[in-house]
Chain A
Amino acid sequence: MDKKNNFIVETLQRFGNAFVRFAQAIGRLFKGFIARFKDGSTGTKVAHLIMGFGNLTHKQYIKGALFFVLQIGFLLIFMLNPEVNDTPIGFKALQNFITLGTEEGDLFGRLADNSMLMLLFGVVTFGLIVVFLAAYTANIKSSYASDLMVREGKKPLTFKEDLAELLDSRFHVLLITPTIIGVLTFTLLPTIFMIFIAFTDFDREVVPGLNLFNWVGFENFAQIFTGSGEIANRFLPVLSWTITWAFFATFSCYIGGILLALLINKRTVRFKKLWRTVFILTIALPQFISLLAMQQILSEHGPVNAMLMNIGILDEPFAFLGQARTATTARISVLTINLWIGVPYTMLMTSGILMNVPKDTYEAAQIDGATKFQAFRNITVPYIIFITTPYLITSFIGNITSFNIIFLLTGGDPNVPGSVAGQTDLLVTWLYSLTIEEGDVNIGSVIAIFTFIITASATLLSYRRSKAYKEEDTFQ
């Protein structure tokens, strides 16, 4: 209880600290601005209005021109509002972001406003503003830095020298810029966009470009907790199955993998490489192949049922997966098949670790007269657990968002009458069918946000753990 409280207090404190630090950073930013404006040369002062001017006065022509072009370009975009797919970017996009479109269109000629693109371009325009502000600051800083160099009697850096810096003291900028651009456009922007969608009524009855959607505030979130429809009815069951699944999937593969690794690494076992290769084979095989095959093999007329009936264990075919009679049957089946997928990974990983079990501890134990089993229990097991805890947590998170196994094996079935979400649907497969198949993008986004909250809390916990471990030197 106490510990839990501590954790909450700590987290709150951390958030508080972060907030204070953020405020301080902004304060510093402004102080910096004022200081640079006061202290800078005339060129630097003018650069506050016309970007690149400071650099021009320092004869850094190319750099100055680049800044200037950037400013003109930004202002042009902002004022002229160029249209992409009939939807403007720029100042108008900010207005559109608020209204999400007003024109409803008609059958001949007039197109309806595309609410989705308006929302997207609103976010893009905000992004452009942030990028512009960063460039603006960089322009002043660069001019001011040149001021300082002149004052010290040095020559300001030429463009060539600036470029050379990219290979040395600013090498990290060169290395991570492509990634930052990629992540901004293809990860951050879409994520922010989808978070906004959760606050709209963009459901299956909306076709962007044909009819409009609007802001609805927290209605979609409320629907999950207080509504009486299928979403509200199915949310908690799906959530609890997701967590149950992640728990059992993680630990069953973990234990299975360690046992398999011990078996293969047993001193007297021969052809170690051969056995390991067999299991790597299953990792290398694309999952859409192996899982679709599994689904067919375990199906009613598949070879497994045929074999069981031949031996006489079964009288009639048994449904293991989507058409199983009870949810529990289907759930046990997917967890079992998950072993087939997951155990080889853990085996590979723990194999490496097993070879590194500290030998001297073992020898000391043997001198003390410990049996093999005792040595295993008291040395090997704690060592493995200690060293693989981070893996356990990442694999738990991975299992919460594991898609292929459920999607390909059962498609979420057995079916629950009156609901899109079946008995084996996880949050991610549910959100897939809601958004991609049914078109309820807003509810899908809400579920995505919840999934994020779960994985984020697990990550936060794992951070605490690893920090706790870092403070200790030994694992005993």
Chain B
Amino acid sequence: MIKTEDYIKNPLKEKEVERKKAERSERFSTLLAHLGLVLLTLVWLYPIVWIILHSFREEYRDGIFVGIVVSHYIPKGFGFENFIRLFTTTLFPRWFLNTLFVATASFILSTMMTLSVAYVMSKIKFKQRKLFLNLAIILGLFPGFMSMIAIYYILKSLGLTETLFALILVYSAGSGLGFYVAKGFFDIIPNSLIESARLDGATNATIFTKIVLPISKPIIIYTALLAFTGPWMDFIFARVILGETNRQIHTVAVGLYYMVHGSQYADGNQFTMFAAGSLVVAIPIVTLFLAMQRYYIEGVTAGAVKG
């Protein structure tokens, strides 16, 4: 009896011990993983928190406001002085509205153009399709800065430089070339869906607007998100096209960049104001990104796999 019991129990016990061992090591590795993640999070948030802290920094030396970079991470005084100065002594409110305008207009145009091209390249077979695809790839490889000077003079010949409209044109005109991700998405839509609609007598236009677009919400949002946030981040093209002296029509990126860098506008004592401006710009964009996270991830993944 005992022998049999031993025979039966021992393996069980062994298994039990093994399971516990595995559980312990599992728990240990989980703990380690969490620790690692906390550490990485700290590293990734370090600069972001620094900017936030400094946008609220309010320090004085002998009654003079100190806005230059300092070596202590946590400010010695907090307040809203930077924001007050940002909105009352600089053109920041104006820049913000300019950017909002440019971003809105160019995201509507870009999204329409990108999706149109992507749909054509994916679902409509026509003679020059391959030629267009190859041309698009080749053109996309030329460094954009080089054409910047030429673009400036083309716009000028059209009488458009130094206007926000010119900036919208530049941001949207070439946007159709970035159709790959959306094309990848449309490729997945089964052709049978389109063919059956055609058998029902639908025109190509109806198929696109009534059948394809309604099921393409993720890719529409992804494209729109990127097109909308672009103008908030670009400080190179905008600077050349809007001109250095037209501060009235600058975008936030150009205005803030000039606040701390390049030329005599740059006043090191405005660094904390730059931080405050950064925060005001970052909040809507980051919120948008986080709200649309799901679609953004979908787009990134699709783009990566399709190449």
B30 within 8 A of A: yes
| Total residues of chain B contacting the partner, CB 8 A | 92
Picked from B33, B45, B48, B172, the residue with its CB within 8 Å of the CB of A182 is B172
A120-B150, A388-B304, A390-B305 known; A285-B286 Cβ under 8 A: yes
Least Cβ distance of B241 to chain A in Å? 11
* A290 neighbours in B (Cβ, 8 Å): 47-48, 51
A176-B116, A289-B281, A448-B146 known; A278-B44 Cβ under 8 A: yes
* A194 neighbours in B (Cβ, 8 Å): 146-147, 149-150
Across the interface, do B120 and A172 meet the contact criterion of CB distance under 8 Å?
A: yes
B252-267 near A? 1/0 per residue, CB < 8 Å:
0100110011000000
Interface of B is mostly: helix
Kindly report which residue of chain A lies nearest to residue B129, judged by CB atoms.
A172
* A263 neighbours in B (Cβ, 8 Å): 33, 36-37
A233 within 8 A of B: no
Across the interface, do A297 and B46 meet the contact criterion of CB distance under 8 Å?
A: yes
B200-213 near A? 1/0 per residue, CB < 8 Å:
00011110100000
A172-B124, A303-B71, A435-B149 known; A269-B33 Cβ under 8 A: yes
Kindly report which residue of chain B lies nearest to residue A429, judged by CB atoms.
B145
Across the interface, do A452 and B143 meet the contact criterion of CB distance under 8 Å?
A: yes
- Distance A32 CA – B221 CA, assembled complex (angstroms): 46
- Distance A262 CA – B293 CA, assembled complex (angstroms): 19
Kindly report which residue of chain B lies nearest to residue A169, judged by CB atoms.
B204
CB-CB contacts below 8 Å: B131-185 with A: 132, 137-139, 141-143, 145-151, 153-154, 156-157, 169-170, 172-177
Across the interface, do A269 and B34 meet the contact criterion of CB distance under 8 Å?
A: yes
Least Cβ distance of B202 to chain A in Å? 9
Across the interface, do B73 and A176 meet the contact criterion of CB distance under 8 Å?
A: no
B66 within 8 A of A: no
Kindly report which residue of chain B lies nearest to residue A188, judged by CB atoms.
B139
* A431 neighbours in B (Cβ, 8 Å): 143, 145-146
Across the interface, do A390 and B307 meet the contact criterion of CB distance under 8 Å?
A: yes
Q: Which of B57-65, B90-98, B232-240 contacts the other chain? A: B232-240
Across the interface, do A301 and B203 meet the contact criterion of CB distance under 8 Å?
A: no
A277-318 near B? 1/0 per residue, CB < 8 Å:
111111111111110111011010111011100000000000
Across the interface, do A168 and B203 meet the contact criterion of CB distance under 8 Å?
A: yes
Across the interface, do B139 and A288 meet the contact criterion of CB distance under 8 Å?
A: no
A224 within 8 A of B: no
A27 within 8 A of B: no
Kindly report which residue of chain A lies nearest to residue B138, judged by CB atoms.
A456
Kindly report which residue of chain A lies nearest to residue B307, judged by CB atoms.
A390
Across the interface, do B301 and A349 meet the contact criterion of CB distance under 8 Å?
A: yes
Across the interface, do A391 and B305 meet the contact criterion of CB distance under 8 Å?
A: yes
A64 within 8 A of B: no
| Total residues of chain A contacting the partner, CB 8 A | 96
B70 within 8 A of A: yes
Q: Which of A140-148, A149-157, A393-401 contacts the other chain? A: A393-401
B40 within 8 A of A: yes
Across the interface, do A293 and B141 meet the contact criterion of CB distance under 8 Å?
A: no
A179 within 8 A of B: yes
Picked from B44, B70, B146, B304, the residue with its CB within 8 Å of the CB of A301 is B70
Apart from A183-B174, A187-B147, A278-B44, list 14 A-B contacts with CB within 8 A: A120-B157, A167-B206, A174-B205, A176-B176, A183-B176, A186-B151, A188-B139, A269-B37, A299-B69, A301-B71, A349-B304, A390-B304, A427-B143, A451-B143
Write the residues of chain B forming the contact surface with A, with a CB cutoff of 8 angstroms.
Answer: 26, 29-30, 33-34, 36-37, 40-41, 43-48, 50-51, 69-73, 113, 116-117, 119-120, 124, 126, 132, 137-139, 141-143, 145-151, 153-154, 156-157, 169-170, 172-177, 203-206, 208, 229, 232-233, 235-236, 240, 253, 256-257, 260-261, 271, 274-275, 278, 281-282, 285-286, 288-290, 293, 296-298, 300-301, 304-307
Query: Can you offer 23 A-B residue contacts whose CB atoms are under 8 A?
Result: A116-B153, A167-B203, A168-B203, A171-B208, A172-B126, A175-B208, A179-B176, A182-B173, A187-B147, A190-B146, A191-B146, A264-B37, A269-B30, A269-B37, A277-B290, A284-B285, A289-B51, A289-B281, A297-B46, A306-B72, A388-B304, A431-B146, A435-B146
4 tightest Cβ-Cβ pairs between the two chains A and B? A390-B307, A179-B176, A190-B147, A182-B173
